[in-house]
Amino acid sequence: MRFQESANSDFFESLQGKRISSHLLKACLLLLALLVVLQAEEVAAQSPGDTYVVKQGDTLASIAAELDVPLEVLAATNQLTDPNALNVGQILLLPPGAARRTVIARPGDTIRSIAEREGLPDLRLAILNNSTPAARLFPGQPIRLMRDSAPTPTPFGSVQIVNVPSTIVQGQAGWLEAEVDRPLALEASWNGAPLGIRPLAIIGKEEAEGEATVWGGYVPIAASLEPGVYSLSLSYQATSGVTVSRSFPVFVQGQVFAVQNIRLPADKDELIEQEISQAELDYLMPVWSRTVTPIQWRSPFLLPLQSAFPTTSPYGVRRNYNSGQYFSYHTGQDFAAPGGSPVLAPADGIVTLAEPLTVRGISVILDHGAGLFTGYWHLQEALVGPGETVQAGDPIGLVGTTGRSTGEHLHWELRIYGVAVDPMPFLKRPLLAVPSTVDLEANEDTEKEQ
Ligand SMILES: [Zn+2]
């Protein structure tokens, strides 16, 4: 795209103090826009030459919000001097990197009315937004038009639509979705290791008669996984007995994590300490690796504390114990909450573990279904017992400093299929998008039979 090229060269020239022009201003704005877009959790594929057709009720501000670019950048890209002078049908150029990920609901909007306006299947839009087609929306509410990555409709065999994330950031969980046109057991694997995908919904098909099953699941990426290109495979057994499979490349994008040196008291024998850590991990692995429990939650996670205490150690921090003899990464988020503060369930779930452990101290683990578990370590006391069902906001324990802990804090951990990922994005991201109108029990039965 011409604009982008000239903007870049102008910018670098300007660093040498050669000249200042109106191009420079545009370049700075553009760079700002690119930074904003790059910092967003979802990095949309750059499609130069994208345009947007102005619709009834649009303002430059609403379009800028939908595109997630600064208003000034959109105005500059289109050389608009009066932001109020927009005409219905007018074609706007999108700044590089911009893509319509969301639309803003207008007064009286439902998922269905937006779907009609955008020419999208209403149930697909409902699934994307964890809603139902008839749901009334608040004016101003953002409605997602696409998933973390643009859909890649590469059908193979009975698999009609495959939506594989093209990029997943180290330490985060990507989302995989596939649509199949007949009952079959779809399997997914990441570099050869199985992923716990499951049938989520049965939807009526657009063009043809019949139904399709939407399968979905997370692709959790450990903070320790080397950045690079990995292979995600989908497979199923055809009626002929032949295994039909396809692999997709997924890029794991690196992230910069801080490094922390932790000194353990010298009286503890390092080797014994490592053996204890490993034994405890071995004990917990089967607890948080199950994928049989149906999805327990319907909305984004709550903070597991009553208020936002400062983070003392974020997820992913590289840890050196006693001068690098034991290298690992921090598998959760530490909050500096005072001892005795109530720890709350962030979402509905089932207590799978509540007991004292050597390293983690008094611990609680919740199973939220679909292979997603949360853990709470170093508690003063557990307020729940194994097998109990909890709802979002229920107290499950009290903050303490039991186990291998240097002070009172809450360690909050989130694991998917046993892989610890950053729990913080789960406080805001739309979670598994299961429309409440779908009979999930039927799906669960189907899965068990297979
Ligand atoms: Zn911690």
Give how far Cα 206 sits from Cα of 118, 121, 436, Å: 15, 7, 20
Give how far Cα 360 sits from Cα of 29, 271, 276, 284, 401, Å: 48, 18, 11, 11, 9
Same domain for 243 and 278: no
Domain boundary among 255, 277, 305: 255
Which has more confidence, 433 or 394? 394
Q: Can you tell me the distance from the alpha carbon of 44 to that of 39, in angstroms, rounded to the nearest whole number?
A: 11
pLDDT value, residue 56: 78
Query: Which of 189-193, 374-378, 427-431 shows the lowest per-residue confidence on average (mean pLDDT)?
Result: 427-431
Angle (CA) 66 143 180, round 5°:
120
Separation of CA 313 and ligand 1 centre (Å): 7
pLDDT band, residue 40 (cuts 50/70/90): very low
Separation of CA 327 and ligand 1 centre (Å): 15
Q: Can you tell me the distance from the alpha carbon of 198 to that of 417, in angstroms, rounded to the nearest whole number?
A: 13
pLDDT value, residue 41: 30
Which has more confidence, 289 or 50? 289
Query: Which of 99-113, 161-175, 210-224, 414-428 shows the lowest per-residue confidence on average (mean pLDDT)?
Result: 99-113
Residue 296, in any domain of the structure: yes
Q: Can you tell me the distance from the alpha carbon of 44 to that of 38, in angstroms, rounded to the nearest whole number?
A: 9
Question: pLDDT for 327-350, tens place per residue?
Answer: 678 999 999 999 999 999 999 999
pLDDT band, residue 206 (cuts 50/70/90): low
Separation of CA 331 and ligand 1 centre (Å): 7
pLDDT value, residue 265: 65
Crossing angle of helices 22-39 and 2-15, in 10° steps, is 110
Q: Can you tell me the distance from the alpha carbon of 100 to that of 160, in angstroms, rounded to the nearest whole number?
A: 24
Give how far Cα 416 sits from Cα of 197, 291, 433, Å: 11, 9, 16
pLDDT of 6 strictly over 60:
no
Residue 277, in any domain of the structure: yes
pLDDT value, residue 33: 46
3-state secondary structure of 251: strand
Residue 311, in any domain of the structure: yes
Dump the DSSP string for 301-337: PPPSBSS-PPEEE-TT-EEEETTTTEEEE--EEEE-P
Same domain for 221 and 272: no
Question: pLDDT for 307-325, tens place per residue?
Answer: 989 998 899 988 776 665 5
Residue 133, in any domain of the structure: no
Separation of CA 377 and ligand 1 centre (Å): 8
Separation of CA 299 and ligand 1 centre (Å): 25
Question: pLDDT for 369-385, tens place per residue?
Answer: 888 999 999 999 999 99
Same domain for 250 and 184: yes
Same domain for 250 and 182: yes
Phi, psi (rounded to 5 degrees) for 374: -125, 150
pLDDT value, residue 138: 84
- Can you give the residue range of the structural domain that contains 241? 159-255
Dump the DSSP string for 360-394: TEEEEEEE-STTEEEEEEEEEEE---TT-EE-TT-
Same domain for 405 and 307: yes
Ion ligand 1: residues, CB < 5 A: 332, 334, 411
Question: pLDDT for 139-181, tens place per residue?
Answer: 888 887 765 544 455 678 888 878 888 889 999 998 888 888 8
Separation of CA 218 and ligand 1 centre (Å): 23
Task: Give bridge partners of residue 117 from the DSSP assignment.
Answer: none
Q: Can you tell me the distance from the alpha carbon of 397 to that of 354, in angstroms, rounded to the nearest whole number?
A: 9
Residue 120, in any domain of the structure: no
Same domain for 414 and 289: yes
pLDDT value, residue 42: 31
Region 435-443: mean pLDDT is 35
Residue 44, in any domain of the structure: no
Overall residue count recorded for the chain in this entry: 450
Is there a contact between 373 and 286 (Cβ–Cβ < 8 Å)? no
Mean pLDDT score of the chain, rounded to an integer? 77
Separation of CA 335 and ligand 1 centre (Å): 8
3-state secondary structure of 35: helix
Task: Give bridge partners of residue 332 from the DSSP assignment.
Answer: 413
